[in-house]
Amino acid sequence: MLEELLYPQTLAVIGASKTPGKVGYAILENLLKGGYSGKIIPVNPTTDELMGLRCYKDPRDAHETIDHAVIVVPNKAVKAAIESSVAAGARAVTVITAGFKETGPEGLALEKEIAAYCRNRKVRLLGPNCLGLINTENGMNASFAAQMPKPGSIAIMSQSGALCTAILDWAEGRGVGLSKLISIGNKADICETDLLQCLAEDAQTKVIVAYLESIQSGAEFIRIAESVCAQKPVVILKAGVTAAGGKAASSHTGSLAGADIAYGAAFKRSGIVRAEDFESLFDYALAFANQPLPKGDRIVVITNAGGPGIMAADAVELEGMKMESLTPSVAEAIKTKLPPAASVANPVDVLGDAEPGRYAMALEAVLGDDRADGVVVILTPQAMSDPDATAREIIRWCASGSPKPVLACFMGGSQVSSARAILLEGGIPDYPSPERAVRALKAMVEYVRWKNRPSRVVTRFPVNRHRVERILARQVRSGRKEMGEVEAKEILKAYDFYVPPGGLARTAEEAIMIAERVGYPVVMKIVSPDILHKSDVGGVKLNLGKPQEVQDAFDLMMLRISRACPDAYLRGVFIEKMCKPGREVILGMHRDPQFGPMLMFGLGGIFVEVMKDVSFYLAPITKNEALQMLQNTRSYALLRGARGQAAVDMDAIAGALQRISQLVTDFPQIEEMDINPFIVGEVGTPPVVADARMIISGVE
Amino acid sequence: MLEELLYPQTLAVIGASKTPGKVGYAILENLLKGGYSGKIIPVNPTTDELMGLRCYKDPRDAHETIDHAVIVVPNKAVKAAIESSVAAGARAVTVITAGFKETGPEGLALEKEIAAYCRNRKVRLLGPNCLGLINTENGMNASFAAQMPKPGSIAIMSQSGALCTAILDWAEGRGVGLSKLISIGNKADICETDLLQCLAEDAQTKVIVAYLESIQSGAEFIRIAESVCAQKPVVILKAGVTAAGGKAASSHTGSLAGADIAYGAAFKRSGIVRAEDFESLFDYALAFANQPLPKGDRIVVITNAGGPGIMAADAVELEGMKMESLTPSVAEAIKTKLPPAASVANPVDVLGDAEPGRYAMALEAVLGDDRADGVVVILTPQAMSDPDATAREIIRWCASGSPKPVLACFMGGSQVSSARAILLEGGIPDYPSPERAVRALKAMVEYVRWKNRPSRVVTRFPVNRHRVERILARQVRSGRKEMGEVEAKEILKAYDFYVPPGGLARTAEEAIMIAERVGYPVVMKIVSPDILHKSDVGGVKLNLGKPQEVQDAFDLMMLRISRACPDAYLRGVFIEKMCKPGREVILGMHRDPQFGPMLMFGLGGIFVEVMKDVSFYLAPITKNEALQMLQNTRSYALLRGARGQAAVDMDAIAGALQRISQLVTDFPQIEEMDINPFIVGEVGTPPVVADARMIISGVE
C-alpha cells in the first residue's frame, strides 16, 4: 500500500532549486544528506546540473520511469507539473506547495482540479500544502525539514507541518527513532485513513502517532482504525476539541452531543488511544514502542525516595489502577535483602542510599511476582545513587525478566541526564515525573482492555422494515421534517417496541370510543404538526378515568390550544391507554456529520436537562456496549435500585438501544430521534414508549 | 523570624566527619564549597582539624556564641549534642539524623524528648530526619545535598528530603535560581506554618513552593497561609491525596468529605495555588517568580505554527479562560505588517517563515492591546526561524512593554535548547508544550481572582447561646453522643431556625392534644435514642388530618416498632405540624480532624446519595461564600428554577449555612450535624427544618 509513495525506486523533485533557502533546494539537499537509496531526478528548466546530479527541464527527459514526484513549483504551475510527472510514470505525487484550499475559493478550485486529475489516473496525491515525508528505512527525507531522524519504531503523521519540525527536533534531542514521518497537509487525496492502513502493514512501525485537526470520512475511519488498532496501538492528539460542533440541533441528543463527544466515541469504538495534550502523545508512544503490554492494572512502584513514591501511588489510584501489595513470599524475600528501615509494601522503598544492586534485586523480585502487571522505577539522585549503573541494571533485568512493562522516572537534571539517555537507548522509556510514567501505563492498560473486549456481535432483530419504509415515504410526501408522536410510534412499533394501544380522535365522541376500546385510565395528547412541545401549551392530560372526563378534557384542550396557538393546525387528539409508572429514561439518536448515528442514553427529566448525565455510543451497538452506556452515567445506581427502589430491567433498556441502533442503521433518513420518556419497570415488565419524535432528512 | 536558623553568624556542625561519604563530611564540605559568609565551627571529639578548620570536642570549647548547630551524630547522642549546643548559645538546631518518629514508638519518644527540651528553652528545631537547609543569600549550604543552587526568588520547603535532591538537580539543569531550600523532615518543632510565615518576610523570596504530605495544625495553617498568600503566591503539591480520610463517619457530611476535600477547601480559603503534580509545581513557580500577575483571563496566543496554536486555544478554553479577538485597530495594524496568509485572529499566526522581527512586532502590538491580559508565545523551529534572536526580542519587549505576563513555548529539542535557556535567564518562563504554558497562566489567573475576592465579613446573628449550652450539657449528662431530632431542633430554634410547632407525646391522647394545638395536618415520628433511621422501621407517618388518624397511627407505630426492635427504648412520638412542600436540601457539618468544621450543602435525596452532588466550605463562612456553595453544585440550575419550577429562596439557604457556621464555631463539641431535609420554598417563605440530628463529642 502506498508503495510508490514511501518506497520509490526513482524520485523526481519538480522545482528543485539551486538557491539555498528555497524549499526546492532544501528538499534536494535533504534527500542527498539523508542517504536515499533510490535514484533522484531533479527537474528545473533553468539548469543542467544540481548538487552534482543531472537536472532536467521535464521529468520525461530523464527517460526513466519515475515512481514518485515531489512538487515544489508555484501553485499555478502544480497541475502541469503533476501532468508531466504522471506522463513520466509517477504513481504518487507529493505536493509541498501551499496556496490551495487554505487560501480561499480560488485555491480550493485549484486543489479540486489536481485531486480529480490524480484520482482519474489512479495516482496517489500527498498534500498539497505539506512539509513532505520521511522514511528512515530507505533514507528518504523528501521534506524541507533538515533533521533526519534515526530509524526507529514510531510512525508519525501530522496535519500540522510546523509541528513536524518540532517533533523532529524533540526526537533528535531525546534520541528517539522514527520509522516514518508524514505531513498530510490539506489531504486532497491521501488522508489519515489511508495512512493508518498503510502504516499498519509497515513492518518497521510498532506504534502509530497522529496529530489531527479533522477526520476526512468518519465511518471509513472507524472501520479501518478498528482493524489497525487490533494490530498495533494508534495514539492520536485531536486538536480543536473546543470548537463548537457547528450544527444547531433541535433535540436533546443533538444539543448534548458536541463534535468532541463524537470524536471521543469514535476513538473509543475503534481502540484509538487518545492523548490529551502534546506531551502525552509522545509519553504514550514511547511506552508502546518500547515495552510489552501489561496483563492487568496492578502497578508496583520501586523508589529510593518516599515523596515521589507517594506521588506515583496517588497517580495510580487517580487513574483507576491498583496499588496491590506484593505476594507475601516475594515481599519477605525482598525484605531480607534490604536495610530494616526499608518498606516492602507497595511502593517498595529501597531507601535513599540504594545502590544499583539493590534496585536490581527489587526489580527482579517484582518482575517475578504474579501480583505485578506493570512497574514504575523511580530514582532521585542522592549521595549513594549511581544513576547510570542503575539504568543499566534495569535494562539488564528487563531483557531477561518476564514480559511486563517497566517505565522509569529518573527525577532531576544534569545528574540523571546520561542515565535517562541510557534508559531510552536500552528500551526503557523514562519520564520526568512519576505522574507521567503512571499515565503512560494507564494508556497501555486501556489499550489492552480494548483489545480484550468481548467480540462485537451486533444482534439483528426481526422487524417490519417495509412498514417503516411506507411511513417514511408518507412523511417525505407531507413535506415536514418533524415527525410527531403518532407516526414515530408507528415506526417504533414496526421495530417491535411496545407502544400503548391508542388512536387518533378528531371529536370527543371518537375519543371516548377509543378510550372504551383501550380501557381506562387513558392519556390525551394534542396532535398538531405545529406544536412540538405539547405540555407547554396544555396539550397533555393524564389519568382520565371516565367518559365524562374524556369529554371535558377534549373540549377544554381544543378550546384553550386554539386560543393560545391560533395558527396551529389541530389534527385532533391522541388517546392512549395510560401506562404503569416506572423509571423514566430518555433514549435518543443524533446523526453526527462526521461519524454517523450517535446513540444517547440518560435518565429522564432533570438528569438530562440539569445534570447533563448522559452517555453516547456510535451505532451499530452490541448488547454489551448498550449495557455499558447505562453504566457510564453517574445515575446508574438508580437503575440498579438505590434508595430502596426496585432495580429496573436493564436488559430491556439495552434491547431498546440495540433496536434503535438497527433502525437508524437501516434508515439513514432518520436524522434525529428521541424516545422521551421510555418507561421501564422491574424485570419482566415490558418497557413502554410513552412519547417519541423524529426528524427526517430529505424534506425541508 | 527564624533569623538564627537562616542567617547564623556562627554555625556549628556537631558530628562533622573527616571520612568522605559520611553525612558529617558532606555537610562541612558543602558549607565550605557554598561560600558560607559566617563562621563555621566543626565539632568532633576525635580530631583537632577538619578541612583546614579548627575542630572542637565540644561546641563550648570554641568560646564563641553559636547561633545555629547542625547535628549529625547518631540518634541516641542527639539529645546531648543539642544540650551542649544550647549551652554554647545556639538558638536554632537542625537535626539531620534519622531514627526518630519514622522508626516506631522508641524513636517517637526520643523525638518528643528533644522537642520538649528545645521548646522549654525557646530553641527552634528543624527536623529531625531531614536533608538540612540551604540559603543562597549567605551562601549557606547546611545540607548533605552537594548541589548549591544559584540565587533566585523561589523558596522551597519539602517534607521529602529525597525530593530536594531531585529539585536541586532539576534547578541546576534548567538554570533556575532559588532563595531558600528547606527540608522539613519530621517537623518535631518547625513546621510548614512557621516557614510560610518566615518566607513571607524574606525579601529574596517572590514565590513559596512546598511539597507536603501532611499539615501540622490545620486552623493555624489556614490563618497564616491566608495572610501570607496576600503578600506572595504559595504553590503547594499535597501528596497522599487518595489515602482514605480514616475516620468512619456516620453522617452524610462525614462520608462524603474525604481528607483531600478538606485540604482542597483549606487551600481554596487561604489562597494557596494547588499543583496537581510534580511538574506543575515548578511550572507555576516559574511563572509567578518571573512574570507580573494578569489583570484578567483573556489570553492571546502568538505562534508560527497552526497546530500548536490550536492546542493552546483548546487549553485556554478547557481551563475556563478566554480567547478573545484583538481590538480591531490593533489587529489591523498587525495585519498590514504580515504576509497576506497570516491570521490576526487569536491565535495570531505569524506564519512558518516568521523571523524575530515579526514576532517582536506582533508581541509589541499585543502587549499594547487592552483586550489581552496574558500572552503565550509559541515557536517551532522552522527553516527561517531564529530561536535565540526571537527569545531575545521577547525579553526586550517584555522589559519595555506593559505589565502583562508573557510565557513562552519553544517546542522541540536541540534547535531550541539555547533559546529556552536565554528565555529563562531573561525572565520569560518557557514550557515544552502549549498546554503547560496555558495551565501556568491559569494558576496566575486563579491567584489573582483570590486576591481580588470581596473582603471576608462573617455576619454574627443574635442567638440564644445559653439555651444551647443547657441542651448540650443535658445531652452530655445523658451519656449519648447521638442527639435526636427533638433536641437538635431545640438547638436550631435557639439559633433562629424555623422549626414547625410540635411536641413529644407519650400516649395517643397526648398526641391528639398536641395535634389539636398545632393544627392539622400533622406528622408523627418515633422518638427513640436507639433508632437512628426512623423511616427504615416505619417510624414516620405524614399527613395525618384527623384525631382518629393520629390515634390509629400512634397505636400501629408503637405496636409495629416494638415488635421490630424489641430492645429499643421508645420515648414516644413527636407530633409536628406538617410543613408545606418545597425544595428539599441537605445542610450539614463534619468536623475535619485537621481543619475543623466543614460545612456541606447538597440537594436532597438522590442528588446527595447517588449523584454525590455536594459542595463543601470551611466555617466560618461569609454570605458570599455560602452562595458560592450553592453555585458549586451541578444541580444549582434547579434552585434557580429550571424545568418550569419557581426559584427557591437562595438567600434563605445561605443564611442557614451562615447560622450553622456560627453554631459550630460557638460550640466545638458539636462533632457532626445534618439538617435533612431543610425545606425551602419561594422567596419570602420561611424555610423549615423538617428533620435534624447531631453528634456530640465528650460522651462515649
User: What is the C-alpha separation between A483 and A693, in angstroms, rounded?
Assistant: 6
Q: Are residues A155 and A195 in the same domain?
A: yes
A418 touches chain B (CB under 8 A): no
Are A170 and A78 in the same domain?
Answer: yes
- Interchain contact, A240 vs B162, CB within 8 Å: no
Domain count of the fold of chain B: 4
Residue A424, domain extent: 292-451
Q: Is residue B359 part of a domain?
A: yes
* Cβ proximity of A430 and A423 under 8 Å: yes
Contact state of A304 with B162 under an 8 Å Cβ cutoff = yes
Q: Give the closest of A165, A609, A635 to B611, CB-based.
A: A635
Which of B419, B451, B483 is the C-terminal boundary of a domain? B451
A458 lies in some domain: no
Q: How many CB atoms neighbour CB A533 within 10 A?
A: 8
C-alpha distances (whole Å) from B338 to each of A96, B98, B329, B360 are 22, 63, 15, 12
Residue B414 in contact with partner chain A when CB distance is under 8 A: yes
Q: Is A647 on the interface with B (CB under 8 A)?
A: no
Task: Pick B277's closest partner by Cβ from A306, A435, A643.
Answer: A435
- Domain boundary among the residues B189, B205, B221 is at B205
- Tens-digit pLDDT profile for residues A82-94: 999 999 999 999 9
- Cβ pair A382, A352 in contact under 8 A: yes
Residues 288-307 of A with CB under 8 A from B: 304-307
Record the cell numbers describing residue B68, joined without a space.
545555629
Distance from the A212 Cα atom to the nearest Cα atom in chain B, whole angstroms? 9
Give yes or no for residue B247 having a pLDDT over 60: no
For residue A179, what pLDDT is reported? 98
Q: Does A562 fall in a domain?
A: yes
Residue B644: its pLDDT value, please? Answer: 60
Note whether B103 and B109 are within 8 A (CB).
no
Residues A489, A588, single domain; the answer is no
Label residue B17 by pLDDT band (50, 70, 90).
very high
For residue A579, what pLDDT is reported?
85
pLDDT surpasses 70 at B252 = no
pLDDT at residue number B251: 36
Q: Does A256 map to a domain?
A: no
Which of B298, B265, B225, B243 has the alpha carbon at shortest distance from B632? B265
**pLDDT digits over A364-377, tens only?**
999 999 999 999 99
Partner A contacted by B564 (CB < 8 A): no
Q: Give residue-wise pLDDT tens across range A439-475.
A: 999 999 999 999 999 888 999 999 999 999 999 999 9
Residue of B387 and A647 predicted with greater confidence? B387
**B 91-130: CB under 8 A from A:** 98, 102-103
Are B21 and B105 in the same domain?
yes
Shortest Cα distance, chain A CAs vs residue B621, angstroms: 27
Reported as a single tens digit per residue, the pLDDT across B620-657 is 999 999 999 999 998 888 888 765 667 788 999 999 99
A/B interface, count of CB pairs below 8 Å: 219
A615: left (phi over 0), alpha (psi -120 to 50) or beta: beta
Give ipTM to 2 decimals: 0.88
Residues B551, B650 share a domain: no
pLDDT exceeds cutoff 60 at B218: yes
Collapsing DSSP states into helix, strand and coil, what is residue B674?
strand
CA distance B433 to chain A (A): 6
- Tell me if A318 and B242 make a contact (CB, 8 A cut-off): yes
Residues B381 and B473 both lie in one domain: no
Cβ burial, residue A257 (10 Å; 0-12/13-18/19+): buried
Residue A353, pLDDT > 50, answer: yes
Mean per-residue pLDDT of chain A: 91
> Which residue in the set B161, B306, B610 is minimally distant from A642, CB to CB?
B610
Mean pLDDT value across residues B259-263: 82
Residues B499 and B601 occupy one common structural domain? no
Specify the CATH number for the domain of residue A525.
3.30.1490.20
pLDDT at B242: 59
A638 located within any domain: yes
End-to-end CA distance of chain B: 43
- Other beta carbons within 10 Å of A210: 24
Partner A contacted by B642 (CB < 8 A): yes
Residues of B in contact with A631 (CB under 8 A): none
Q: Which among B161, B165, B381 is the nearest to A169, CB-wise?
A: B381
Reply yes or no on whether the pLDDT at A254 is more than 60.
Answer: no
pLDDT at A463: 96
- CA atoms of A63 and B696, how far apart (whole Å): 97
CATH number at residue B161: 3.40.50.720
* B positions 589-618 inside 8 Å of A (CB): 605-606, 609-613
Q: Considering the domain boundaries, does residue A62 fall inside one? A: yes
Q: Mutation test of the interface with chain B: which of A415, A630, A631, choosing the one with the most B Cβ atoms within 10 A? A: A415
pLDDT at A645 over 80: no
Is residue B294 within 8 A of residue B373, CB to CB? The reply is yes
Q: What is the pTM of this model?
A: 0.90
The Cα angle at residue B191 between residues B187 and B193, in degrees rounded to 5: 165
Percent of chain A, pLDDT > 70? 96
* Chain A stretch 244-283, residues whose beta carbon is closer than 8 A to a beta carbon of chain B: 276-279
What 3-state DSSP class applies to A410?
Answer: strand
Interface test with A, best of B22, B29, B158, B163 (most A CBs within 10 A): B163
Nearest by CB to B635, which of A144, A239, A610?
A610
Say if residue B173's pLDDT is above 60: yes
Considering the domain architecture, whether residues B547 and B609 belong to the same structural domain is answered as no
Nearest to B309 by CA among B380, B364, B393, B208: B380
**B417/A277 touch (CB, cutoff 8 Å), yes or no:** no
* Interchain CB distance below 8 Å, B161 and A352: yes
**What confidence tens digit (pLDDT) does each residue in A546-571 have?**
999 999 999 999 998 988 888 989 99
Partnered with residue B211 across adjacent β-strands are B158, B237
pLDDT value at residue B343: 83
Task: Choose the closest CB to B279 out of A23, A213, A433.
Answer: A433
Per the document, the length of chain A is 700
Whether residue A222 is contained in a domain is answered as no
First to last CA, chain A: 43
pLDDT in tens, B108-149: 999 999 999 999 999 999 999 999 999 999 999 999 998 999
Same domain, A419 and A471: no
Among A323-332, B414-423, B591-600, B609-618, which is the least confidently predicted range?
Answer: B609-618
Average pLDDT, chain B: 91
Q: Considering B451, B483, B509, which residue would you say is the last residue of a domain?
A: B451
For B355-484, where are the alpha helices, taking DSSP H only? 356-367, 387-400, 414-425, 434-451, 465-478
Q: From chain B, pick out residues whose CB is under 8 angstroms from the CB of A314.
A: 239-242
We report the CATH number of the domain holding residue A409 as: 3.40.50.261
Q: With CB atoms and an 8 Å threshold, state whether A21 touches B306.
A: no
Contact B414 A638 (CB under 8 A): no
> Would an 8 Å CB–CB cutoff place A584 in contact with chain B?
no
Asked, for residue B569, whether it belongs to a domain, the answer is yes
Short-list A377, A297, A362, A373, CA closest to A330: A362
- The three-state secondary structure class of B622 is coil
A390, A539: one domain: no
Q: What tens digit of pLDDT does each residue of B405-417 get?
A: 999 999 999 999 9
**B199 vs chain A: nearest CA distance in angstroms?**
22
- Domain shared by A527 and A544, yes or no: yes
Q: Which residue of A has its CA nearest to B415?
A: A169
A415 part of contact set with chain B, CB < 8 Å: yes
Residues B533 and B631 in one domain: no
Q: Is A375 helix (H, G, I), strand (E, B) or coil?
A: strand
A72 vs B: CB within 8 A: no
In a mutational test of the B interface, the residue from A159, A169, A238 whose CB has the highest number of chain B CBs within 10 Å is: A169
CATH code of the domain in which B616 resides: 3.30.470.20
